[in-house]
Amino acid sequence: MNDGSDLNLCPAPLVFAMIGGKWKLSILQILIFQGTKRFGELRHGIPDITQTMLTKQLRALEGDGLVDRKVYAEVPPKVEYSATDVAIGLMPAFKAMHSWWEAKARPSTN
Amino acid sequence: MNDGSDLNLCPAPLVFAMIGGKWKLSILQILIFQGTKRFGELRHGIPDITQTMLTKQLRALEGDGLVDRKVYAEVPPKVEYSATDVAIGLMPAFKAMHSWWEAKARPSTN
DNA sequence: ATACTTAGGTATCAAAATGATACTAATGGA
DNA sequence: TCCATTAGTATCATTTTGATACCTAAGTAT
């Protein structure tokens, strides 16, 4: 019902649907901070994800305009994934989460 | 195996396990920005969550030290939830996500 | 006294999401 | 000829999540 034109209120549910879930943040983090990756590289970079889930989440991210998918007509197959500009805009959010974790993990270090 | 002492690498999976999932960000957002809430208020504030899930996620957040739970010995029951200091440290991350969404939603407004 | 309301749950079962495993396609190399 | 390769799909088991009903015990109306 809300088309996004009145965003005085924080649209948390929309945001969280887009980047929430179990794997999306991990996928985005890699693509945002490490750049373009092939399917297999992503799989390797996220140890516990299954092929099925990686494919599914990548498609969802692609559908939301956060990830670009480039297929090469080669054999064996080669598919590259990269963060879109929109996704790269999330970098500050990732950095904030990182800082939070560090502050939490070592509250009295240094 | 990693106790948190070597966090040069971004501990994304750990962070995302703690605040990821489908509802945790929504719950935290409310408690962080709106302060202490009763169970029923949270339920009302997150339209699609079920009682079962709200209870479960609150318990998980409590277990991770992000939420405090205060039970009053009254009838009918009264239980208040609030964000811990650790959770409040996530405020910048939420703000970053909010900014991102706004920039994304109206790329050419003003 | 009896029955209804209340708020924060729990128990139970169905539905959906996720995980594990096996399978496919097209080419190059042994 | 047969195998390895990469990205992905198909199928089925397991785990999560959702829907619904039920519980507790005090206040309130009858």
Q: Please give, rounded to a whole number of angstroms, the shortest distance from the CA of B82 to a CA of chain A.
A: 18
Taking the C-alpha atoms of residue A36 and residue B10, their distance in angstroms, rounded to an integer, is 18
Q: Which nucleotides of C are covered by protein (CB under 7 A)?
A: 6-12, 18-22, 25-27
What pLDDT does residue A15 have? 85
Q: In what order do the strands lie in the sheet with A37-38?
A: A37-38, A78-83, A67-72
Taking the C-alpha atoms of residue A21 and residue B17, their distance in angstroms, rounded to an integer, is 10
Question: How many Å does it take to go from CA B78 to C1' D26?
Answer: 13
Burial of B83 per CB tally in 10 Å (0-12, 13-18, 19+): buried
* B83-94 per-position pLDDT tens digit: 999 999 999 999
DSSP A21: B
For B28, name the nearest residue in chain A, comparing CA atoms only.
A12
Residue B11's nearest CA partner among A110, A42, B19 is: B19
Average pLDDT, chain B: 87
Structure tokens at B43: 């339920």
Nearest to B101 among A15, A26, A46 (CB): A15
Q: Identity (one letter) of the amino acid at A52?
A: T
Percent of chain A at pLDDT above 90?
Answer: 70
Strand D at less than 7 A from CB of B20: no
What pLDDT does residue A5 have? 34
B chain contacts of residue A99, beta-carbon cutoff 8 Å: 92
Domains of chain B, start order: 13-103 (1.10.10.10)
For A19, name the nearest residue in chain B, comparing CA atoms only.
B20
CA B92, B100, A107: angle at the middle one, nearest 5?
Answer: 20
CB neighbourhood size of A24 (10 A): 22
CB A66 within 8 A of CB A29: no
Contact A100 B90 (CB under 8 A): yes
pTM of the predicted structure, to 2 decimals: 0.87
For the cut 90, the answer to whether the pLDDT of residue B43 exceeds it is yes
CB A98 within 8 A of CB A33: no
Taking the C-alpha atoms of residue A18 and residue B58, their distance in angstroms, rounded to an integer, is 22
Q: What is the mean pLDDT of residues B46-75?
A: 96
For A107, name the nearest residue in chain B, comparing CA atoms only.
B86
Average pLDDT, chain A: 87
Q: Identity (one letter) of the amino acid at B35?
A: G
Structure tokens at B52: 């079962």
Structure tokens at A99: 């800082």
Question: How many Å does it take to go from CA B35 to C1' C24?
Answer: 54
